[in-house]
Amino acid sequence: MDGKEKEQKRHQQKQSGPKAERKKLKKQGGSTEEDARKRNPKAFAVQSAVRMAKTFHRSQDIKLKKHHIPLVDRTPLEPPPIVIVVVGPPKVGKSTLIRCLIKNFTRQKLGDICGPVTIVSGKKRRLTFMECSNDINTMIDLAKVADLVLMLIDASFGFEMETFEFLNICQVHGFPRIMGVLTHLDSFKDNKALRKTKKNLKHRFWTEVYQGAKLFYLSGMVYGEYQAQEVKNLGRFISVMKFRPLVWQTSHPYVLVDRMEDLTDPDRLRTDPKCDRTVSLYGYLRGTYLKNKGQVHIPGVGDFQVGDVNFLPDPCALPDAQKKRALNEKERMLYAPMAGVGGVVYDKDAVYIDLPASHVDHQQEEVRPNTELVQSLIDTHATLDEKMAASKVSLFSGSATLEPAEIEEPSREKGGLEEKCVWDPTTQRKRRKVVFTTEEGEDVSGSSDDEDGDTEDSDQEELGKNEEEENLSTYLKDVRAECGKAEKTVTDAPPVKRPKLDERKGDSAEVPAFADSEDDLEMSEEESGDEGEAGRAGDSGHCSEEEESEDGEEEESEGDLEAKREAADATIEEQTSRESMEEEEEEAEEEGLRWKEGLRQKASDAFLRQQQAVPNLRKLVYGSVVKADDSEDEEQELGGLFRVSRPQKSKKYQANAVDSSRFHSDTSHKWDQEEMLNSIRDCFVTGKWDESQDAATLLKEDEELYGDFEDLETGEVHKNQSGKQNQAENGENPGDDDDDEEEEEDHEEAVVKMDDDEVQKNKRLEKKQRLKERFNSEYDGGDATYFDDLKEELQKQAELNRAEFEGVDDETRVQYEGFRPGMYVRLEISSLPCEFVTNFDPHYPIILGGLSSAEGNVGYLQMRLKKHRWYNRILKTRDPLILSLGWRRFQTIPLYHIEDHNGRHRLLKYTPQHMHCGASIWGPVTPQGTGFLAVQTVAGAKANFRIAATGVILDLDKSVTVVKKLKLIGYPYKIFKNTSFVKGMFNTVLEVAKFEGASVRTVSGVRGQIKKALSTPEGAFRASFEDRLLMSDVVFLRSWFPVSVPQLYNPVTSLLLPVGQKDSWAGMRTLGQLKHDLGIRNKPNADSLYKPVVRTKRQFNRLHIPKELQKALPFKSKPKQQQPKGKTPRDLQRPCVIREPHEKKVVALLHALSAVHSYTRKKAHAVQHAKHKEFLQQKGKQEDAKLKRQKEARKKLYRAMGQEDQRKQRSSLKGASNDD
């Protein structure tokens, strides 16, 4: 296929034209713009000062918009893991995304996502993933501790309400970094619809977050996982993302708990199961420094006092600082105790190792000893006689083995079937496996696992599979069997951690009884195959591939081989071809407990190997190793049975060999003697070498060859050593003319060279001077702004903070500054409710939020509040509301009020629709400027938007007095001109005395003032008004009554509810909910019902104007003396006409005739109207036809005129060309 691929057409570069000319000038070093500026400077001058000023202002605005308020960098040297919260509606792919990201970073698969999952993602960064469920409590809690939010959106469905709810929660509690992730994109079959959906979702997401917010697309799933490349790109963005510190997080210590232990006394639990518990909580400390014995709040539980705090070794530590680009497999750590992941668990006084199920025999009840020797003795089920009966004997190196089965059962069937019961953990049932056996009884079913399911130790799994068989053959055959077994184990065994075999060509592949390093005991299945090849090539193979390329750690070389291995090398290489079939037959022959033999010898060999573990440099550089010639060893065999032992010839490594990169200790040399030191003295640079290799001789030849040189920038001429010596000799012998002539010729050549390069030198100096001036002007020219000075000052402060306790150990630092962020701490808390432990659910986050000394108190809070524009109901005063303020979630009763122009805070019955109002509550003291949000209920998921209101804390005291309007009503019972006696407003004289001087009004608008109380009736008073009152007037007093804030603080204890009911917390209900739940219908107050208003008509007296006043009034205002209308005289009244019968008949006939006439006229009018309508339709058709004819005529006329113009234009052009 590669040969048939069509070659693509290459791009042809332009050889001419303006673009090609610019490229040529650029290659030659010229600049078209600079030439144009020199040629025509006015063209590049300022054309408009106003436009230039606008451009400058715009550039400065853009530059200043990028500035943030600089903060002191309080990030510790080892920062805590970054909290990544994965949010989204149900079934959108949150758990799948977390599993894919964990697999991308750590190469490990995680089943159920329970609690925080901490991983090492890079050399300096760790990540903690936390899944956020649809519960509003979980969303609120995780929004307060999140550093990065991955917001999953189902593209096939669109935005859901949970997405906008979480965005609004984040806006209130400090906006963390948010990245959107679109899933279910594979449900779109049409690319056009997919692009349109992506665009709409992206712009809506930008509207809520900010313009240009990152939105990732996960196109589809492969085998239940997202595509690896897309997950890798998402992981890269997460790994390099920078975070701006949030105010609340940086000012409060907090811990996202990843492990919980109950420390309550078991005896106390037995006597009182519902007693308060003592619990230790573990997690990384974040935020700021934590003091011991402080107060913390656990959202969903309450406030508690910390009993004790300790810092523990980091269970998911960052890798050591080394110059490398990637992490190796050991450093890709995963720590998730709540999910059952993380092998080592650190406690205050102990370390617990969590073994997988494959390492624990659940069927074994007795306690097994930890010593391998005792354990192997206990596990031995066969006696020595049985082992002898099952043993095999081989007399010669090339002969076949003899076993009792061949003699006792020569007629055994070939290829028989056997049954083997195997427990399948995937299907959770017992399966019957067919085992195919060969003639020798070998198991060739392809499975090397025994029935116990890896219950024994890995050493016994490698070497003790067939404990009933014991090999008594020669050492040479042992080597072959062990080598073959190791190769088979590498290819067939499942990928579990087990001690690797030290594979070398011709060496015995025994498990090292004393490991030189952890690599001897922990090597993956993939590395074992590479190790075998490396061993055969002469490399040790003890180091993984990453350690060779990145870590640069020492590898284990072959070293000095044991005496038995050296003697067996030649024989194995000679007999490999003819013994290959025997090796395959002997792969299954294993010895039971070979590792116990020669422990002392193996320990000494391991020590020598460790001392000689020097990397094979030739192997690293050239990829090959020179093998020693073993042809002489073939001649030293006697009859194929014995070999002559010659240690000096069997030594493969010589000091003067071609590959002498590895040093092997040689005790034959005594380096204390002067003769041995002199023998290697010339091997160093200071020694006496040959003339062709001596360093001093070569340097002298270089100076004679190249001579002196000149520094082109400074013009200084440097003479060589030989020239200086010649000058010295000339000074001593002034009579030597030849030397003087040579010196003068050299000097003349140098002067000519300086003259030729003078121009270039000056140009370079000018260019350097310009660059230096520009740098000085930018650096020292006063461009440093206040922003730069502030940044520099804060940078110095951060360096000072780090340097203060830099060299102090952690124990001492904790006593002075407290527990710093990034430490893995253990907090012991007593008096926790028992429901916290019994109803513990790892899917819900546990947060320990530190409180300052004042935040533990409860008092009056003044806040500014606004009903959320998406909440479909207004809020009512005195209805209980659940607030999220600081770390806490609690229920309280707010009073809404608004400030009037005179500073009075007037109580509101309902919140305004589209504006802010004040609110007063009784709750925990929280710093001013802290944001909060309010919800009406946290039970279940509502169909509508759940966030009712948002706001901010304004004040922390009771300085604001909320007042309520109160109208007192009275009625006048005596009226004396402008003075009236009023009753019914007060009940006692004392009440009247309190309101003396208060202003009153009547409904008709007459204003007055309370003067003095009357003795009778009780509560009556005298008041004076602007005008005389009527007995029908109503007098009212408008007063303001102070309202007290209800003292309700009810923490939301959702974590104490049973598992599965944690989202159903219900506190105090509103009055409307109570009436609805209890089925109560209040009878309305009769006075509150609307009634039809019946007003009696009032008769007012005539306005009396005195005569003196009438004289002074103008004419138009004077009352006119009009005569009232009298009755009409009878003679002027029209008499009634009474017709006679004949007249009646005539009038009736005329009426009938007129009716007939009018009907006839109406009918004729209708006919005429129809005819006229038809006429108009015909007229319209004629008009349309006429317009069409006119249009066609105009088209013809315009066409002819256009052709005539074209003809004239062509003729004029021809005439012009002839003239030219």
User: In the block, which residue shows the tokens 């091997």?
Assistant: 683
Q: How confident is the model at residue 601, as a pLDDT?
A: 80
How large a percentage of the chain has pLDDT more than 70?
64
Structure tokens at 907: 């109580």
Structure tokens at 486: 């190791």
Q: What value does the mean pLDDT take over residues 47-56?
A: 89
pLDDT: which is higher, 563 or 805: 805
Radius of gyration of the chain (CA): 51
- SS3 labels along 12-54: CCCCCCHHHHHHHHHHHCCCHHHHHHHHCHHHHCCCCHHHHHH
User: In the block, which residue shows the tokens 């130790």?
Assistant: 457
Query: What is the tens place of the pLDDT at every residue in 1006-1048?
Result: 999 999 999 889 999 999 999 999 999 999 999 999 999 999 9
Lowest mean pLDDT among 28-37, 403-412, 973-982: 403-412
In whole angstroms, give the CA distance from residue 860 to residue 1045. 8
Q: How confident is the model at residue 380, as a pLDDT?
A: 65
Q: How confident is the model at residue 223, as a pLDDT?
A: 86
Q: How confident is the model at residue 718, as a pLDDT?
A: 57
Burial (CB count <10 Å: 0-12, 13-18, 19+), residue 957: exposed
Query: What is the tens place of the pLDDT at every residue in 702-717?
Result: 555 555 555 555 555 5
User: Where are the strands (E) in 569-705, listed by range?
Assistant: 637-638, 642-643
Query: CA 334, 337, 340 angle in degrees (round to 5)?
Result: 90
Residue 754 pLDDT grade (very low, low, confident, very high; cuts 50, 70, 90): low
Residue 1199 has pLDDT above 60, yes or no: yes
CB 476 within 8 A of CB 397: yes
Q: What is the mean pLDDT of the chain?
A: 75
Residue 407 pLDDT grade (very low, low, confident, very high; cuts 50, 70, 90): low
Residue of 148, 225, 146, 243 whose CA lies nearest to 183? 225
1058 Cβ contact partners less than 8 Å away, ≥ 6 residues apart:
839
Q: How confident is the model at residue 631, as a pLDDT?
A: 41
Q: How confident is the model at residue 83, as a pLDDT?
A: 95
pTM of the model: 0.56
Q: How confident is the model at residue 347, as a pLDDT?
A: 65
Q: What value does the mean pLDDT take over residues 707-734?
A: 49
pLDDT: which is higher, 63 or 96: 96
How large a percentage of the chain has pLDDT more than 90?
36
Q: How confident is the model at residue 126, as a pLDDT?
A: 92
In whole angstroms, give the CA distance from residue 883 to residue 952. 11
Query: What is the tens place of the pLDDT at every residue in 536-562?
Result: 434 333 433 334 344 443 334 334 434
Neighbour tally for 385: CB within 10 Å? 8
Q: What value does the mean pLDDT take over residues 219-226?
A: 87
- The single-letter DSSP state of residue 337 is G
Cis peptide before 842 (omega within 30 of 0): no
Most confident of 391-405, 1052-1066, 1082-1096: 1052-1066
Residue 809 pLDDT grade (very low, low, confident, very high; cuts 50, 70, 90): confident
Residue 832 pLDDT grade (very low, low, confident, very high; cuts 50, 70, 90): very high
Residue 1133 has pLDDT above 90, yes or no: no
Query: What is the tens place of the pLDDT at every residue in 224-241?
Result: 889 999 999 999 999 988
Q: How confident is the model at residue 836, as a pLDDT?
A: 93
Lowest mean pLDDT among 71-75, 963-967, 1114-1118: 71-75
Residue 141 has pLDDT above 70, yes or no: yes
CB 870 within 8 A of CB 1061: no
Burial (CB count <10 Å: 0-12, 13-18, 19+), residue 739: middle
Q: What value does the mean pLDDT take over residues 500-512?
A: 38
Query: CA 224, 228, 234 angle in degrees (round to 5)?
Result: 110
Residue 298 has pLDDT above 60, yes or no: yes
Residue 1102 has pLDDT above 90, yes or no: no
Residue 366 has pLDDT above 50, yes or no: no
Phi and psi at residue 209, in whole multiples of 5°? Answer: -100, -85
Phi and psi at residue 159, in whole multiples of 5°? Answer: -70, 140
Phi and psi at residue 305, in whole multiples of 5°? Answer: -95, 130
CB 969 within 8 A of CB 985: yes
Helix, coil or strand: residue 884: strand
Which alpha helices (DSSP H) does 644-689 contain, by range? Answer: 647-650, 674-679
CB 516 within 8 A of CB 476: no
Q: What value does the mean pLDDT take over residues 622-629?
A: 50
Residue 734 has pLDDT above 50, yes or no: no
**What is the signed CA dihedral for 645, 648, 653, 658, rounded to 10 degrees?**
-120
496 Cβ contact partners less than 8 Å away, ≥ 6 residues apart:
358, 454, 458
pLDDT: which is higher, 1174 or 27: 1174
Q: How confident is the model at residue 826, as a pLDDT?
A: 93
Q: How confident is the model at residue 21, as a pLDDT?
A: 83
Amino acid identity, position 561: L
Lowest mean pLDDT among 943-947, 961-965, 1194-1198: 943-947
Lowest mean pLDDT among 118-127, 537-546, 645-654, 1073-1082: 537-546
pLDDT: which is higher, 533 or 656: 656
CB 127 within 8 A of CB 106: no
Q: How confident is the model at residue 591, as a pLDDT?
A: 42
In whole angstroms, give the CA distance from residue 94 to residue 88. 7
Residue 1196 has pLDDT above 90, yes or no: yes
Lowest mean pLDDT among 278-287, 300-309, 938-947: 938-947
Neighbour tally for 473: CB within 10 Å? 19
Which alpha helices (DSSP H) does 265-355 contain, by range? Answer: 266-271
